[in-house]
Amino acid sequence: MPDESNRVFEVVCKGCSRFLMTVERLRDPEIELVVDHLHACSASEPLGEAPMLGTIMRGLRVRAVDRQMNTSVPPNQAGVTEKRESR
C-alpha cells in the first residue's frame, strides 16, 4: 500500500474528460475552481447557484495517484500542479 504522504489525487471532469488538477486534498480554493469549470463546461450537467459537495463530485472523476509516478499531468498544467503540491 502506498505511503499516504506520497499520494495525490487527479481530478478530471466527467463531462468533457479534461484534466483539471492534481491535489493532496480538495479544499475550498480547489472546489471553487472545479465549480467554475463545471459551470462553464457545456458537456457537464448544469449546477445550481450554490451546489452541494455531492452534486459537484458527481461531475468529477477523482483517482489517487502516487506522487512519484504521476506522469499523467499535461505539460501545460505542470505549473498548476507544482503550485498546489507546495502548499
CA distances from 11 to 1, 37, 75 (A): 21, 12, 16
Overall number of domains in the chain:
1
Tens digit of pLDDT for each residue in 3-21?
566 789 999 999 999 999 9
Domain limits at 71? 4-85
Residue 46 contacts residue 55 (beta carbons within 8 Å): no
Select from 87, 81, 82, 68 the least CA-distant residue to 22: 81
Select from 4, 15, 19 the least CA-distant residue to 65: 4
Tens digit of pLDDT for each residue in 31-70?
999 999 999 998 777 888 889 999 999 999 999 998 765 4
**Residue 26 half-sphere exposure toward CB, CA atoms < 13 A:** 20
